[in-house]
Amino acid sequence: IDEQKEIVDSYFSEEEAEHLLPAGDIHEFFEDPREEAVAKKKAVSLLPKEIDANLMDVTNPFSDGSSTAFFWHVPKCGGTTLQRLYWCMGFTLANEVGANPKFGYNERDDLIAFRPWDNNPGQVVNVDVSSHEGIMNAKKKGFLVNSLDPSHPHVDLISTTEFQFASMMLYTPEHQGRMFALFRHPVDRAVSKFFYLRKAKWEPTYNERWAGMSLDEWASRERGENNWMVRQLISKSNQEPLTSKDLELAKEIIRTKFVVGLMDQFEESVHRFNFLLGVDESDAQNNQCINEYTANEKSKS
């Protein structure tokens, strides 16, 4: 997280460009070291073609209208709190809320942003990007595809666990995703998941067998997932074996594409994401939201 801070602070870091340079003295051909970095990356990129093309590099400068922020929601890492914080600021999000039938907008063929709660300034778009089916339905409606069309609702960020599928279906080289995510120690995340899912009967991933288990018994017998983050990043099913190359690829995707925050450094992570999203922290309402939600997350620690 400390190493990424230089990138986030400037987005024009010469050190990052130098890190990407090949061995040997080729920089004499470039006046700007960033041009060297781009040339090197294009020559030897290890990433899948669609991921590399559809997602912005963390070193790329911002450009209006050509990207939409993409929050990869890793479960039990503070992502729900983070989304509530941005709703508090009046952001428009695309996750799964807007397609909830209780709001009455899920059957519409057109895209619309609306406020689901009277006492909250946040808005949602009437799509569900939490599943493959929902992502395909959103694409059919023209979500993000026609984002420059005046009739397309403004979207501040999308949030989903479906990293690979959303990256390939919703984004393009012409309209890229700018990735960010909150991470947590995997043991802490697994323990939090266990205690949550043993009581969360409303969740589709609820497992009634866990309700009667102790933590020790669950940890030794049924952990419920198998390298979930790596599999999501590289698109491998639970039935496919993982290799050290898979791990290295997942790490390279994070290194080159993600602005990273840590749950146990939630306040610092929020400030980092605010920079990414262009949040004015001097605004009184925004500042109140930041203080409220960072304090709530601290109280859980």
Residues 101-117 pLDDT 10s: 999 999 999 999 999 99
Q: Which of 43-47, 207-211, 248-252: highest mean pLDDT?
A: 248-252
| Residues in contact with 282: Cβ distance below 8 Å, sequence separation at least 6, in sequence order | none
Question: Looking at the predicted structure, is the pLDDT value of residue 17 above 50?
Answer: no
Question: Looking at the predicted structure, is the pLDDT value of residue 3 above 70?
Answer: no
Would you state the pLDDT for residue 32?
Answer: 56
pLDDT tier for residue 24 given thresholds of 50, 70 and 90: very low
pLDDT > 90 in the chain, percent: 62
Give the integer Cα–Cα distance in Å for 22 and 25: 8
Is the whole model's pTM more than 0.85, yes or no?
no
Give the integer Cα–Cα distance in Å for 259 and 289: 21
| Cβ–Cβ < 8 Å for 95, 155 | no
Greater model confidence, 49 or 202: 49
Would you state the pLDDT for residue 5?
Answer: 56
For the stretch 115-160, pLDDT in tens is: 999 999 999 999 999 999 999 999 999 999 877 778 899 999 999 9
Would you state the pLDDT for residue 78?
Answer: 94
Question: Looking at the predicted structure, is the pLDDT value of residue 167 above 60?
Answer: yes
Greater model confidence, 248 or 13: 248
pLDDT > 70 in the chain, percent: 81
What does the mean pLDDT of the chain come to?
84
Instruction: Walk across the sheet containing 258-262 and list its strands.
Output: 113-114, 123-125, 92-94, 157-160, 67-72, 176-183, 258-262
- Angle of the 79-88 helix axis to the 266-277 helix axis, nearest 10: 50
Question: Looking at the predicted structure, is the pLDDT value of residue 29 above 60?
Answer: no
Greater model confidence, 10 or 192: 192
The pair of structure tokens assigned to 286 is: 């925004």
| Cβ–Cβ < 8 Å for 95, 83 | yes
Would you state the pLDDT for residue 79?
Answer: 95
Question: Looking at the predicted structure, is the pLDDT value of residue 9 above 70?
Answer: no
In b/e form, how buried is each residue of 235-260, taking b as 16+ CB within 10 angstroms? ebeeeeeeeeebeebbeebbebbbbb
Would you state the pLDDT for residue 18?
Answer: 41
Give the integer Cα–Cα distance in Å for 147 and 65: 8
Would you state the pLDDT for residue 265?
Answer: 95
CA proximity to 57, closest of 164, 178, 174 = 178
Q: What's the rounded mean pLDDT across residues 247-260?
A: 96
The pair of structure tokens assigned to 186 is: 């995997």
Name residue, tokens 């067998």. Answer: 209
